[in-house]
Amino acid sequence: MPSKQPRVTVLGAGSWGTTFGKILADGGADVTIWARRPELAQEIDEAKRNSRYLPGINLPRDMHATHHLSEALEGAEQVYLSVPSQALRENLKGVRPLVAETEAPIVSLMKGVERRSGLRMSQVIEQELRCAPERIAVASGPNLALEIAREEPTAAVISSVSQETADAVARRARNSYFRTFVNTDVIGTEFGGVLKNLIAVAIGIVDGVGYGENTKASIITRGLVEMTDFAVAQGAEAETLQGLAGLGDLIATCQSPLSRNNTAGRLLGQGYRFEDVVKQMQQTAEGLASVAPILQLAKESGVEMPIVEQVKRVLEGTMDPRNIAPHLTTDDDTPKGERTQNGQNGGGGALWRSLQRALDQLRYGGRRAPGDRS
């Protein structure tokens, strides 16, 4: 008999795409994963394993896989995209005719910007699929794939300019260990996921050099300021950067050895050249490709990003990794204010209240903290 479960598709069978497929299947959906390599599709479909990207994880029975794109997308009520950001545009060329006649929401699971254009992933999707932005959603948050695949509790945010789309995706992408919140600030949600990768590379660099917790805490804190200033200049809401897509993701990515960007930075800090780091990484570290386009956008917006600028110099080989830590602001000796530019305009109190609420969401699973009457 035909399945009554909602049918959803995930394009991309790396660690995050496979994990998100598991999230959806454990939430009650009939999931099909598209894998580029036939042998990987066969392993997921028949053995319910993805031994390369998620070793030791058993996948749900209601999760299938194919390397045929048309088969994967047939009848899909929602489509999730989890491919390397720099390959998204090319992948979407084959997707366009298969979703043109449907109204299925298209959900980006990617955290990068296109190197050539500087466009966010939702903008690339809108261009290549020629669909209305109201049909597009993005997912972000402190989401290390292997931890979630082990069913360790976490939360994420689903964002769309359409509240209806955000709600529909959030209802589908949740289960007993994965909670979803919603907002309509797509710009802030996407840039939060991109920018935290750059700060995580910086943290990895100083970790590889051998610096301690003071250095890392300083970079995380000043990195959040850079993230907020940049995102607000692009049209984001400052509060979004204090939530799951900003602060939450920043904490998880900077402190975990499971983070690809942290790992890439650590190799750089240990003296490996950029080319050698890329060869050693088995999966894409999106932060490495996003540094240049983000700095170009920052320059056009008049936003200073000294930490990200120094990451760029380390990548280019023009700065010794040991020299990144003393330059947390700029080489200018003029004293700098600590708050973000937005905070200096009077929003500081609201920002930190939002920050506290974001931490409470993680700590109390979306419920209000005891004694919180706000």
Beta bridge partners of 108: 81, 138
**What is the C-alpha to C-alpha distance for residues 48 and 61, in angstroms, rounded to an integer?**
7
Burial, 92: exposed, middle or buried (Cβ in 10 Å; 0-12, 13-18, 19+)? buried
CB-facing half-sphere around the CA of 324: CA atoms within 13 A: 36
The tokens describing 63, both together, are: 């999760």
CA angle 213, 290, 97 (to 5 degrees): 135
- Residue in 38, 32, 41 with CA at minimum distance from that of residue 6: 32
Phi, psi at 159, each rounded to 5°: -125, 140
Q: Which two tokens stand for residue 239?
A: 């509060």
Is 4 assigned a catalytic role?
Answer: no
Rg of the chain, C-alpha, whole Å: 20
Tokens of 112: 């990068």
**Residue 321 three-state SS:** helix
> Measuring CA to CA, which residue among 210, 194, 197 is closest to residue 252?
197
User: Which one of the listed residues 196, 216, 279, 336 is annotated catalytic?
Assistant: 196
The closest alpha carbon to 125, from 108, 145, 111, belongs to: 108
- What are the catalytic residues? 196
